[in-house]
Amino acid sequence: MVFLSAFFNKKADSWIKGRKNQLQNISPKLKDWKNQKIGWIHAASYGEFEMSRPLIRTLQSQFPNLKFVISFYSPSGYENIHFEDERFLKIYLERDIANLHVKYIEVIDPDFVVFIKYEFWFNFLRILKARKIPFYFTSLHMNRDHYLFNPFFKAFLNLLKSSHQIFCHNKASDEILKEKGFSNISVLGDTRIKQVQLNKQNATIIQWSKPGQQTIIFGSCTLFESVMIYNYINSNPGYNFIIAPHDIDEHSISAFKDKIKRGTSLYSESIHTFKHEVLIIDTLGDLKHLYGNADVAYVGAGFEKGPHNVLEPLVYGIPVITGPNIRKFPMAQLLKSKELLFVIEKKNQLNQCIQNLFEVDSENFSDLCTVFFEENQTNLDIFTQEIKQLIGE
C-alpha cells in the first residue's frame, strides 16, 4: 500500500527511497564500530525525537565512547534531524517484518534498544527478546482503556513485560502497569519539560512583530482548524499573527495564506524583516523559538486527536489555548487543572477566550509558569544509572 501511495504522496515516496539499499549503505560505518558499545534509539517521527533529546544528550555526556543508531519511521524525523557528531548514525526503521529486523540487528549488533513512547514493534521486540538484547521504553503513558489491555492482545502485553525497564510518563501510568503485573517500572517524568527549557535557553529570539501590537501565535495547526483561524484573523485587526501549519507542504500553506485578507509573509522569505502583520511558518523546527514573540498561543489539533506540544509556548510564560480533546493527554490535563492551559469546547469560543487572556496579569502568569517547570523536573538519573549498569562504563 505504501508503494502504491508513493505515486501520489511525497512522504510515502521519501519513505520508500530512504530505505532503498539502506543496509548496504550503513554497513561500512558499522564495521568501523565493531566491538564498540552501541545504543539504538527509535523515535517514530520528529516530535518523538524531540522528546528523546534530553536522554540522548545525557547519554552523550555520561558515556563518551558510546555510539548511537537513531532510527525513524516517518520522513518528518529522518529528513529534518541531522547529526554532526561522528558517534551518530541515522536510519529508517523497516516495516515490522521479522526477517528485515533480523538483518538489521545482526549488522548493528546493539547493546541496548530504547523505544520512545508508543513504539510497539512486536516482531522487533520478539527478536530482541530471543537474542537477549535489553530493550527499554521511555515516556510511556498508559490509560486503563489502552488496547494492549484487551485480552486479545495478551501475548503482546506479555512481550512488553520483557522490557529491561519501562520509564513511565507519570505516576498514574506506573500504577496502571503495576496493576497489570508489571514490575520493571520507574517514573521518569515528561522529558519534554527538560527539552523545552533547553530550547528556550538556546533560542535566538527573532523579534518579529509590529511595535505596540500584541502577538498571537497559532502553532501546529491543522487544516481542520484553518477556517476558525483565518476567520479570527480577518475579523481582528490590530494584532500581529504567526501561523505555523502542522504540515508545511504547499497545500497546507495555501489553505491559510489564500483565505487571509491581510498581508502575509512566509518565514523562509522574511526571517529578519517585518513586512506584514501575518507571518506563516513554512519551515520545520523554528516554531519553538518564535513562541518567544507571543502574548497568547493557540496549539493545534485539540479538536482532533489531541493537542501538540503545549509546553513549547508555556515555557515562555504565556497563556496557551487548545481544543477539548485532552482526555488522553495527561500533561494537558494537569496544565488545565492549574489554569495554565485554557480549553475551548467550541471553535466560536476562541475570540472571547483570547480577549479574556489579554486581561490576565502577564507577570503573575509568567511566575506561575516558572514555578510549574521548577516543580516538574524530569528524573534523568534513573535512566542513566540503568544504562551504566548495563554497559559498565
How many other CB atoms are found less than 10 A from the CB of residue 180?
15
Question: What is this structure's pTM?
Answer: 0.84
CATH code, domain with 174: 3.40.50.11720
Query: What is the arithmetic mean of pLDDT over 306-323?
Result: 96
**How much is the pLDDT for 202?**
82
Domain that holds residue 350: 206-375
Share of the chain above pLDDT 70, in %: 94
Residue 201 resides in a domain: no
**How much is the pLDDT for 160?**
93
> Do 294 and 318 touch, CB atoms closer than 8 A?
yes
Residues 170 and 231 in one domain: no
Confidence of residue 271 (pLDDT cuts 50, 70, 90): low
Instruction: Please list the alpha-helical segments (H only) found in 33-87.
Output: 46-62, 75-78
Helix (H) or strand (E) holding 145: none
Residues 172 and 24 in one domain: yes
Residues 260 and 162 in one domain: no
Residues 234 and 217 in one domain: yes
> Which is nearest to 222 in space by CA: 199, 198, 243, 195?
243
Rounded to whole angstroms, the Cα distance separating 41 from 32 reads 19
**How much is the pLDDT for 19?**
85
Each residue's pLDDT tens digit, 32-88: 999 999 999 999 999 899 999 999 999 999 999 999 999 999 998 999 899 999 999
Residue 195 resides in a domain: no
Residues 169 and 242 in one domain: no
Residue 134 resides in a domain: yes
Residue 169 resides in a domain: yes
Query: What is the arithmetic mean of pLDDT over 279-300?
Result: 92
**How much is the pLDDT for 210?**
67
CATH code, domain with 300: 3.40.50.2000
Angle, to 10 degrees, between the axis of helix 226-234 and the axis of helix 250-257?
A: 30
Average pLDDT of the chain is 91
Residues 145 and 115 in one domain: yes
Residues 146 and 21 in one domain: yes
**How much is the pLDDT for 10?**
66
Confidence of residue 331 (pLDDT cuts 50, 70, 90): very high
Helix (H) or strand (E) holding 321: strand 320-322
Residues 260 and 164 in one domain: no
Tell me the three state secondary structure of residue 207: coil
Residues 178 and 244 in one domain: no
Higher pLDDT, 269 or 166: 166
> Which is nearest to 11 in space by CA: 298, 284, 242?
284
Query: What is the arithmetic mean of pLDDT over 201-218?
Result: 79
Query: Into how many domains does the chain fold?
Result: 2
Confidence of residue 275 (pLDDT cuts 50, 70, 90): confident
Residues 213 and 182 in one domain: no
Residues 49 and 94 in one domain: yes
Residues 235 and 281 in one domain: yes
